[in-house]
Amino acid sequence: MAEQTASGYIQHHLQNLTFGHLPDGTWGFAHSAAEAKEMGFWAFHLDTLGWSVALGLIFVLIFRMAAKKATSGQPGALQNFVEVLIEFVDGSVKDSFHGRSAVIAPLALTIFVWVFLMNAVDLVPVDWIPQLAIMISGDHHIPFRAVSTTDPNATIGMALSVFALIIFYSIKVKGIGGFIGELTLHPFGSKNVLVQALLIPVNFLLEFVTLIAKPVSLALRLFGNMYAGELVFILIAVMFGSGLLWLSGLGVVLQWAWAVFHILIITLQAFIFMMLTIVYLSMAHEDNH
């Protein structure tokens, strides 16, 4: 029974608040993974959407506040923090981006801060936000996940947005002919027209896989690391409910140790997502003729 209860606890904490079309023809919330699956494609993870939008607004409001209060005299703590962050991102862009674009630096800053904020929610104890959702809704079976980056829908959505920019700038800088040529005439080439024509399918296969690997690597790297971190917190929480004093005490130690280590993870994953975006867009701006 304890094992089943622990299993149910884990499954509940790993399920999103899903809204969609129920089997009876009405629209509503799924109360189990099976119900969420039956909703099909047109199902919305309201917790992921809500938290990602809310944290994005918090980012915008904080930076807007810093910009309105900016002064050339004695800067405040908020202005110092924002300036350091902007200089850090700007330095990363200058070191890795070799083209000219007014979009890349603001995009990199947005990605880093937004992803970091979404990751940082994972430091909130795993039961607090779901319990708050239960208190507000009055439904003791309703699931709620607060860490948007543990939902592959969110990470894939961000990765596809970056991928769209990669395609856009590749065509803008190289032209449609240059972009197609990049996919079909490299890495193998020949001065013989017939041989080159025979190499086109091989080149396209290799380059297409390389192109598709960019959004896949962006999405799955962030999702995998954050999902694993969340799962560790949930497993530690299970230790508290074991009823064994020594196991609960061990859980306290592990929770603090993992939280400290997780601060590095959430920052590093935001930095990696930002840097890969900069590098991929830099490659899109390179015209190798």
- Active site residue ranges: 217, 221, 225
Burial class (CB in 10 A: 0-12, 13-18, 19+), 192: exposed
> Interior CA angle at 164 toward 49 and 119, to 5°?
35
Going by the DSSP 8-state scheme, the letter that residue 30 receives in this structure is: -
| 8 A C-beta contact, residue 99 and residue 282 | yes
Q: Which amino acid is located at 282 in the chain?
A: S
Backbone angles phi, psi at 165, to 5 degrees: -65, -35
CA 197, CA 218: separation in Å to the nearest integer? 33
The radius of gyration of the chain's CA atoms, rounded to the nearest angstrom, is 23
The dihedral over CA atoms of 116, 117, 122, 128, expressed in degrees to the nearest 10, equals 170
Q: What angle do CA 151, 138, 130 make, to 5 degrees?
A: 30
| Residues in Cβ contact with 72 at an 8 Å cutoff, skipping those fewer than 6 apart | none
